[in-house]
Structure 1
Amino acid sequence: MSRYCLITGASSGLGRELAIQYADQGWQVIAVARSVNALNELHNQHKSIHALPLDLTDTASFAAAVEQLSQQIPALDLVILNAGSCDYVDAMDLPLDIFDRTMALNFQAQVASVKLLLPLLQKSEDATLAIVSSLAHLFPFTKAQAYGASKAALSYFTDSLRVDLTETAVAVCLIEPGFVDTPLTQKNDFKMPFLLQVGDAAARIRRGIDRRQQRIRFPKRLVWSLHLLNLLPYGLRCKVAAGMRQS
């Protein structure tokens, strides 16, 4: 019997790599992204990857697509909500449009995705909902007010959601990676400690999901570094964060 996996943000980076790896493992993968050309290229390379071009912030179109999908497949066994964006901001002149856009995709669209896809997950006897957040929310990084806030909201939402889905057949997994070499991070003009290749990051996520881990955080060296920074007295922690901005 076929297993069905839906992955958002699948046109590039981590989402694309996850789609390929799950397809190679024999899954039927529904790849969701806005880029029609990139999704069609994926399908041409892997016939078990099925393109679903979609703007996740367009809830009405999203709902219509899910309704059509529910008539084509019996259930979703795995959903990986990976779509997201990162824009850095100037604190002296906060760009409200960037905050609106970041929260719309990184948080509100993820909530809508859960609402719309949960019924298909509940039709599976053993389903997993995996939501990709970030380690960024664990420490106050410069110019990351929009991105970090959106990921903090998403991580809290995921943990709280797990509480209320405990008695269901849907396992909830929170994924919080560090820096991964993708088109998104390749725009960064600062040093990214413990940068991982996208294939390695995707493999770590797959292993964690297979093990039914509730939270997948990596790389461990960055996780522990951030934990140690958060153990500092609050005033000193603020000075360290400011020092990083100046370095």
Structure 2
Amino acid sequence: MTSTCLITGASSGIGRQLAQHYAANGWIVYAAARSKDKLDDLAKSAGIIALPLDLTDTAAIQDTATRLQQAGVVLDLLLLNAGTCEYVEATNLDLAAFERTFAINFQAVVAATKFFMPLLKASLSPQLAIVSSMAHFFPFTRAEAYGASKAAVSYFADSLRVDLADSGISVHLIEPGFVDTPLTQKNDFAMPFLVPVEQAAERIYRALQAGQSRIRFPRRLSVTLKLLSLLPYNLRSKMAQRMKQQ
């Protein structure tokens, strides 16, 4: 039996690569994103169905989920990957940047979970996978909006796993480090242990196939940030300040 997944943020970066990877492995892929042109190009690949959708529009998410449900679509995997990053200045916090960042990184995840999750219930092995980031492990400079949104996403996924434990739906939290995508290519700072997007998609695919609940990579960055988190709080803050000045 052919498996079916829905992937958000599929027009570029990790989402696009995952859509291609799942389709290449025989899945039917509903690729959701705001950019219709990029989705139409992606949908030229066999097994990929374009699903133009503004994830900041809750009514549009609900309408799309209803249409899929009425069409008899059953999802085996709902992979919520869409995200954005905006850096802010602490001395003049851009409230609009916080609103935009949380709208796509957090609120859209909650809304997509609410309206698309019913499509998982008829699957024999339903999976809900949510992409967060390692960014919230450490207080990086100018990352107040991005890091806070990803901390919220990770907590949401972990709490959701507890409450869905008896539902049959497994919840998987994906926390990558730096991945070479159009989003990270805008960064003007060094990104340690940068992972090619093709490798990131392969790691996520294999880990979800294996049923891993928490997926973190690259391991070297994960271990480094874990060790930093063990430092006394004041020392960790001073280290973050020194990193900012470099």
Question: Which of the five TM-score ranges fits, normalised by the shorter chain?
Answer: over 0.9
Q: Cα distance, 1:74 vs. partner?
A: 3.7
SS of residue in 2 equivalent to 1:173: strand
Matched, 1:136 2:135: yes
Task: Among all aligned residue pairs of Structure 1 and Structure 2, give the percentage whose two residues are the same amino acid.
Answer: 59
In structure 1, the residue corresponding to 2:61 is in which secondary structure? helix
Q: CA deviation at 1:169?
A: 1.4
Q: In 2, distance between residues paired with 1:42 and 1:200? A: 19
Whether 2:235 is the aligned partner of 1:233: answer no
Instruction: After TM superposition, list the pairs within 5 Å mapping 1:1-247 onto structure 2.
Output: 1-44=1-44, 46-247=45-246
Question: Post-superposition shift, 1:56?
Answer: 0.6
Measure, in 1, the Cα distance between the counterparts of 2:35 and 2:6.
16
Q: Residues 182-211 of structure 1, C-alpha deviation per residue, up to 9 Å, x if partnerless?
A: 000000000000000000000000111011
Contact 2:78 2:117 in 1 (8 A): no
Provide the aligned C-alpha RMSD in A: 0.7
Deviation of 1:71 (Å): 2.0
Q: Is the 8 A contact 1:4 1:77 kept in 2?
A: yes
**Aligned-pair CA distance for 1:47:** 2.5
- 3-state DSSP of counterpart to 1:167: coil
Is 1:74–1:123's contact at 8 Å kept on the other side of the alignment? no
Paired residues of 1:81 and 1:130 also in contact (CA < 8 A): yes
The offset of 1:234, in angstroms, is 0.9
SS in 2 for 1:10: coil
CA drift of 1:16 comes to 0.2
- CA deviation after TM superposition for structure 1 residue 24, in Å: 0.2
**Cα deviation digits, residues 120-148 of structure 1 (max 9, x gap):** 11121211000000000000000000000
Structure 1 residue 80: Cα displacement: 0.6
Q: Deviations over 1:37-64 (max 9, x none)?
A: 00000111x1210000000110111111
Q: Summarize deviations over 1:137-165 as a string: whole Å, max 9, x none.
A: 00000000000000000000000000000
Give a deviation string over 1:13-36, Cα, whole Å, max 9, x none: 000000000000000000000000
Give the whole-Å Cα distance in 2 for the aligned partners of 1:164 and 1:122: 15
In the alignment, is the contact (CA less than 8 A) between 1:173 and 1:209 conserved in 2? yes
> 1:2 Cα shift?
2.1
Q: Tell whether the 8 Å contact from 1:7 to 1:80 is kept in structure 2 after alignment.
A: yes
SS of residue matched to 2:149: helix
CA contact (8 A) 2:19 2:48 kept: yes
Q: Which moved more, 1:57-66 or 1:29-38?
A: 57-66
Distance, in Å, in 2 between the alignment partners of 1:166 and 1:62 is: 25
**Range 26-35 or range 227-236, more displaced:** 227-236
TM-score normalised by L of structure 1 = 0.98
Partner SS, residue 43 of structure 2: helix
Q: How many residues align?
A: 246
Instruction: Measure, in 1, the Cα distance between the counterparts of 2:61 and 2:116.
Output: 10
8 Å Cα contact 1:82-1:132 kept in structure 2:
yes
Cα displacement string for residues 197-240 of structure 1 (whole angstroms, at most 9, x for unaligned residues): 00000000011101100100000000000011111111110000
